[in-house]
Amino acid sequence: MDDHKLLIGMVIRTSGKRIWVQYQKIQANQPLEYLCLDIKYVWGQGERRWYYLLSIMNVFSRKILHWIFQKSIRKVDVINMFWWLHTVYNLKGVIIRNDNGSQFLANKVRSFLVQLEARQEFTHVATPEENAYIEAFHSILQRELIDRFEFSSFYEAKQHIEKYMQWYNYERKYRKLRRITPQQKWPKGLSCSTDTQHYLVAEAVVSRPNDSIKNQTPNRSLCICLDTADTDTYLCLEGEQENGQVLHILNNDSVQLIGV
CATH number of the domain bearing residue 141: 3.30.420.10
| Count of domains forming the chain | 2
In the predicted model, is pLDDT for residue 228 greater than 60? no
Where residue 4 falls among pLDDT bands split at 50, 70, 90? low
149 and 40 assigned to the same domain: yes
Instruction: Provide the pLDDT for residue 187.
Output: 84
Mean of pLDDT values over 231-239? 35
Statement to judge: residues 242 and 211 lie in one domain: yes
- Among 185, 216, 236, the domain-final residue is 185
Q: What is the mean pLDDT of residues 244-252?
A: 37
- Residues 124, 158: one domain? yes
Structure confidence by residue, pLDDT tens digits, 82-122: 999 999 999 999 999 999 999 999 999 999 999 999 999 99
Pick the last residue of a domain from 135, 151, 185.
Answer: 185
Residue 167 lies inside a defined structural domain of this protein: yes
Residues 176 and 124 in one domain: yes
What confidence tens digit (pLDDT) does each residue in 156-204 have?
Answer: 999 999 999 999 999 999 888 889 999 999 987 675 434 433 334 333 3
Residues 81 and 141 in one domain: yes
Q: Does residue 18 sit within a domain?
A: no
Domain containing residue 251: 199-257
Q: What whole-number percentage of the chain has pLDDT above 90? A: 61
Mean pLDDT of all residues belonging to the chain = 77
Please indicate, yes or no, if residue 46 is contained in any of the structural domains.
yes
| Residues 230 and 125 placed together within one structural domain of the fold | no
Q: Are 137 and 37 in contact (CB under 8 A)?
A: no
Residues near 154 by beta carbon (within 8 Å), at least 6 away in sequence: 44, 47, 51, 71
Q: How far apart are CA 255 and CA 205, in angstroms?
A: 7
Q: Tell me, yes or no, whether 62 and 166 share the same domain.
A: yes
Indicate whether 220 pLDDT > 70.
no
CA 197 to CA 15: how far, in whole Å?
A: 31
Q: Are 81 and 142 found together in one domain?
A: yes
